[in-house]
Structure 1
């Protein structure tokens, strides 16, 4: 067991932590009993109590079961941050089914993969995404949809700037396969007894690698419980705290730190549908926010507001996150403004958020942190697969209670994702890093081709497979290119068919129509050929290495 970091372990915290042997839904049930009148969520100045939240969860769970949802079934959750996301998430769990969280920026052709891969028959979606769901209902790929209007949950007067999706009026649904959110909740269905336990399937967040379509990461109630509980104890949060939720709930960091962790402890979440720095600052001041988990770009954006010093941010007790290394100058500005150091952490979809977090009383800059409760993490040589020592660069591998059980219906991918060390199964992260003499971990590169554009993970193989649907494209290789605002962004090197005619602008526009905005190549380069290895494989790494020196 790796224990080099125990010398810098947070004071008064145990090295190991027993987890509740219950389902994740049970956390909400218990908090609703303990704190029935406490706001579970505050949504643009409108509160939703724990009693109300649990009642709505049970009503929707009953409705799902009336539509045939059974224990172990998968249900798509396709919406932006809103109270309905929380209700939908926990209703699926209350019905003994598993949540398939889908990025709301996805289009129909992308959503189709999640439907086919999980055999999901029902989708819970925001009304602004119904246009992507409707074709799958019409084609019989989905059987039913429940459509939510975010503005229904803003019933109190507010002076906050509301996103367009929250201001939008209820749109009519012209399908006998879809119902409005209120209709589902008011149908009067009562769910059967809750049966799911810690080893039942809980959540299937999707990840990807260097080849193929996105893969579902199989997480049980036990593994999801782990990082939800870990984050509470590591940050020493209490039920009296208030969290600002700005990260998207479909993503594991937002899901765990901005939803599941606060519900476990019975605290209040102040929820935003869209990031807007002034609204975030107002909410911190208005609700005396104590805990804010974000991505580095959000913190940078807030601190770049020339009026930021006019807001009272003194209630904050912790500011943490990741997605990219925090620039030292920005960290120093944050410290001057709030008295707090930015606490960086590290995790993946396969680990349902953090395996490493910096100690709050001894953080290091641009550092992943140290392995948290019950996590055993090592560095291995990528060729020999032998264990390396301090300051030696290799692949980060981890074992712990939050590690997924494998990729959904991908036995070969699952087998290659793990390695046996000392009789224990370690997950191979695909990230290259090292640890120092004190046991702090640092990242230096990625084995995987993932592009990190302002915290959004873009998988080149997925973008390539979508681009191949364009009739004029013969070959496409997606790489990252430097971007002054996003850090890096997406570039596509494209070879056209002999008879194909399309400009770079036309291809970019086609991509905008067929994939989520953050995946769309900002740069399209038309090439006569792509470099190949002796075996005929496209040498994406050669293109990648050429891109960065030229840009710099």
Structure 2
């Protein structure tokens, strides 16, 4: 019988990793307060060529908390954050927690229809958005509980300094139908802290929306305990401390960015380098400027960095702690990055429901490659985490046998917001049924083989085929549509649509791609469209996606 909790690899690969730990703080806010008290003068956010200290971020978030409470925010209320990777993200996150609220991260690539779903489901009463996204927010506001719009600009943290090339097309807009974040903070500078209860370990810190293992987006309720525990996981397993510099390439609306960038920085005091959105040339410049030491991101980030012409001329020697998560990693890419850039890419694995990692390759250990499939291991279970591989009846499978990966530990969310049936399905008795299929080898390393459901993973972004199909059905020429993931060298998977047409109509594939692109986030729309006479179906008329694959 396999004993998944024994963790035989800890002594073998990294004796410094604790086998059993408990969160050190009752909440992520308490974690931040300890850092703010200890090192207020240390840098916390580097944004292009500017820097904000721990103390400055703490003061701004104090003022924002007072402003939010003055606007009527009550404990437990939700605040949606519709921003790119800008310093304001950290200020808003901390300010919401200080006001007793819950943060709802929103992907800034979402369009009106998609944004409306998240705002309506979360019941967010405040939306903080980039000025450029204000028209989208204003359009959906009437159909949601949002009563206050607050906008900010990617140019605000730069002051009167030179605008970097990546932001050359940006301009201040200051819409009249929204409050300005800077003004709100300035109006409440020096106000006493709001008289609200401090969050506890089981209070919710984030609603992070995910398709999970079934269906449309659901709000995973990441608690403060979840956040603190996995901030400690990053610190302990990757050996991060205040002398590190975190390169923030993962989106801050994504669980990797929230925990692997902001939360671990709040714990350790290591500053985070932000650059608005991912641009390989800009990121290479920022690594050199700020001497970044640690990064975690999806594998397309590393492909783009090593293939950029500046990779050969920039000084990247500081970057020594490199991790990948969010999508499968090909061993060939790891080898190529090591040859061209220098550091070895360690692997990690986790889900929104595990508040970032459940498995990590211990720093300094090279992950094995399965000799049969050629798959690179995703790591070993982290401290206090029990991972099983089970068959369809939930029975444990022995070493080497393939089944569904299920996870229990302090990082696993208690459930989904207002969705008891989905919670019961995905988290029976608190154990996460991941929907991912894989196996464990004799040394305790885990490998992913496939996904149990039809979800597509394109460069770390999770896509539910039905959502794409619903958009395609809106085209007047489309009779039937099916969407599948197909292999893609850069993104791991990309979205392909196979459609049949209504009688008497014609459709150029590029036209349908453009139709979808106008109605969906950039990572969701199909890159490939194939027109066929008939789609394969069962006798009951259900389309057979597996035959299309």
Moved more, 401-410 or 23-32: 23-32
Structure 2 CA distance for aligned equivalents of residues 151 and 307 of structure 1: 25
> Is the 8 Å Cα contact of residues 214 and 462 (structure 1) preserved in structure 2?
no
Please state how far the C-alpha of 1:357 moved relative to its aligned partner.
0.5
2:388 to 353, 378, 381: 378
Distance in structure 1 (CA, Å) of the matches to 2:395 and 2:144: 50
Alpha-carbon separation, structure 2, partners of 1:24 and 1:49:
19
Q: 1:484 to 1:74 in 2, by over 3 A?
A: same
Q: CA separation in 2, counterparts of 1:362 and 1:110?
A: 41
Instruction: Kindly report which structure 2 residues correspond to 1:36-47, keeping only aligned pairs within 5 A, or say none.
Output: 36-47=40-51
User: Which moves more between the two structures, 384-393 or 329-338?
Assistant: 329-338
Structure 1 position 217, deviation (Å): 0.8
Structure 2 partner of 1:549: none
1:459 & 1:139 partners in 2: Cα distance?
24
Counterpart for residue 460 of structure 2:
455
Deviations along 1:182-229, whole A, 9 cap, x unmatched?
A: 222123265224421111111111111565321111111111211111
Match of residue 96 from structure 1 = 100
Q: Cα offset for 1:472?
A: 5.0
1:101, 1:476 → 2: CA distance? 31
Contact 1:378–1:397 (Cα < 8 Å) also in 2? yes
- State the match for 2:270 in structure 1: 267
User: In the superposition, relative to structure 1, how do residues 466 and 71 fare at CA in structure 2: closer, same or farther (>3 Å)?
Assistant: farther
Partner of 2:510: 505
Partner of 2:207: 204
Supply the distance in 1 between the matched residues of 2:354 and 2:71 (Cα, whole angstroms): 32
Measured in 1, the distance between the counterparts of 2:144 and 2:339 equals 57
Counterparts of 2:310 and 2:113 in 1: how far apart (Å)? Answer: 42
3-state DSSP class of the match of 2:30? helix
1: CA distance, partners of 2:516 / 2:179 = 31
Question: Residue 158 of structure 1: CA displacement?
Answer: 5.6
Q: Which deviates more, 321-330 or 401-410?
A: 321-330
1:146 pairs with 143, 150, 155, which one?
150
Q: 2 CA distance for matches of 1:392 and 1:264? A: 38
Alignment of 1:254 onto 2:257 = yes
Q: Find the counterpart in structure 1 of residue 480 from structure 2.
A: 475
Residue 325 of structure 1 contacts residue 367 of structure 1 at CA under 8 Å; is this kept in 2? no
Partner of 2:416: 407
Contact 1:394 1:434 in 2 (8 A): yes
- Any idea what SS the aligned residue of 2:241 has? coil
- Contact 2:222–2:413 (8 Å) recurs in 1: yes
Deviations 1:116-171 (A, max 9, x none): 1111121111112112101023556532210011111013746853335xx52211
Any idea what the Cα deviations from partners look like across 1:286-319, whole Å, max 9, x if unmatched? 2222211122111122112344232222222311
SS at match of 1:72: coil
Matched, 1:387 2:396: yes
Bigger drift between 54-63 and 477-486 goes to 477-486
Query: 2:372 matched to which residue of 1?
Result: none
| Alpha-carbon distance in structure 1 between the residues aligned to 2:145 and 2:421 | 27
Return closer, same or farther for 1:501/1:146 CA change in 2, 3 Å cut-off.
farther
2:291 to 288, 291, 304: 288
TM-score (norm: length of structure 1): 0.91
Unaligned 5+ runs, structure 2:
369-375
1:229 aligned onto 2:232: yes
Give the secondary-structure state (helix, strand or coil) at the position aligned to 1:308.
helix
SS at match of 1:174: coil
- Judged with a 3 Å threshold, the aligned counterparts in structure 2 of structure 1 residues 337 and 527 are, in CA distance, closer, same or farther, namely closer
- Does residue 132 of the first structure (1) align with residue 130 of the second (2)? no
Distance 2:319 2:217 in 1: 37
Q: Distance in 2 between matches of 1:482 and 1:103?
A: 24
1:460-506 per-residue CA deviation (whole Å, 9 max, x = no partner) reads 12222344444554533211233343332112223455687765433
Which residue number in structure 1 is paired with residue 379 of structure 2? 369
Q: In structure 2, how many angstroms separate the alpha carbons of the residues matched to 1:300 and 1:510?
A: 29
**In the alignment, which residue of structure 2 is the partner of 1:168?**
170
Partner residue in 1 for 2:525:
520
Query: Helix, strand or coil for the counterpart of 2:267?
Result: helix
* Cα 1:521/1:336, change in 2 over 3 Å: closer
Other structure's SS at 2:364 match: coil
User: Runs of 5+ in structure 1 lacking a partner?
Assistant: 545-552
User: Could you say which residue in structure 2 is the equivalent of 1:25?
Assistant: 29
